Amino acid sequence: MKRKYILLSFVASSVMVLSACSGLSNTQQRVLSGGAIGTGVGVVGTALTGGCVTCGAVIGGAVGAGAGYLVDQQEKGNLP
């Protein structure tokens, strides 16, 4: 059962990362990539520890999207 979740998270993350991001701004690309990576990490982490996989995906995605936004703002010089 855990392998199924890990495989599903990998496929979902790969599809999101490799999807057509060419029409997005740099900020949107970083937020999307961060969210996808965060979702994958959240799913894998909770699947391995026996936690709520859905909760891990949601929390990981939110944290990843926020981190992607902060990285973008840092590179633009909008953060100290």
Q: pLDDT per residue over 21-30, tens digit each?
A: 667 888 998 9
Task: Supply the range of the domain harboring residue 31.
Answer: 2-76
**Residue entry with tokens 């599809």:** 15
Of residues 8 and 18, more confidence is placed in: 8
Number of structural domains found in the chain: 1
In Å, what is the CA distance from 17 to each residue of 12, 42, 51?
A: 9, 16, 25
Q: What are phi and psi of 23, to 5 degrees?
A: -90, 0
| Closest-CA residue to 34 (of 74, 63, 73, 59) | 63
Q: Check residue 3 and give its pLDDT.
A: 75
pTM across the whole model? 0.70
Cα separation of 34 and 15, whole Å?
14
Of residues 79 and 35, more confidence is placed in: 35
pLDDT band with cut points at 50, 70 and 90 for residue 11: confident
